Structure 1
């Protein structure tokens, strides 16, 4: 689960960079739920792995949380259109 959430977070981060380009801000409407699913997967990974082996899940959770925050801020600034 940790590896899946890490890869999910990397993909969401790449998508976020594309959504920062003007006129592609509408991608944040799809990005935020996508990253939320990745955060849920990371949280499940944290619950079911040993404390010494959950670094990937923590990193995936952090990446997805950053993407969610940046996406919400971007939607707030651009009004969700641009």
Structure 2
């Protein structure tokens, strides 16, 4: 059950992360929304017995985290 919750949280975070990759002014700030959502989903995924939800959230964390790191967290 926790894996399903983690997958649903990850599916909520994916659109924010994908739109946040677009280099248009102020749009990359959506990564600040995607990162904590995916972090929460990854924690829920770690509590479950399966790896699917955890891995999805780690992928979202990687995409939004790299984008925030490369731009210094600003844009």
Runs of 5+ consecutive residues of structure 2 not aligned to the other structure: none
4+ residue runs over 4 A deviation:
none
Of the candidates 18, 34, 37, which is equivalent to residue 37 of structure 2? 34
Q: CA deviation digits over 1:1-39, x for unaligned, max 9?
A: 111111111221122111112221111122211111000
Which entry has the higher C-alpha Rg, 1 or 2? Answer: 1
Match of 2:67 in 1: 74
User: What is the alpha-carbon distance in structure 2 between the residues aligned to residue 72 and residue 15 of structure 1?
Assistant: 12
User: What is the alpha-carbon distance in structure 2 between the residues aligned to residue 9 and residue 31 of structure 1?
Assistant: 9
Structure with greater helix percent: 1
Q: 1:25·1:78 contact (CA, 8 Å) conserved in 2?
A: no
Between 1 and 2, higher relative CO (CA 8 Å, sep ≥ 6) is seen in 1
- TM-score, reference length from structure 2: 0.83
Runs of 5+ consecutive residues of structure 1 not aligned to the other structure: 47-53
Match of 1:4 in 2: 5
- Shift, 1:71, TM fit: 1.1
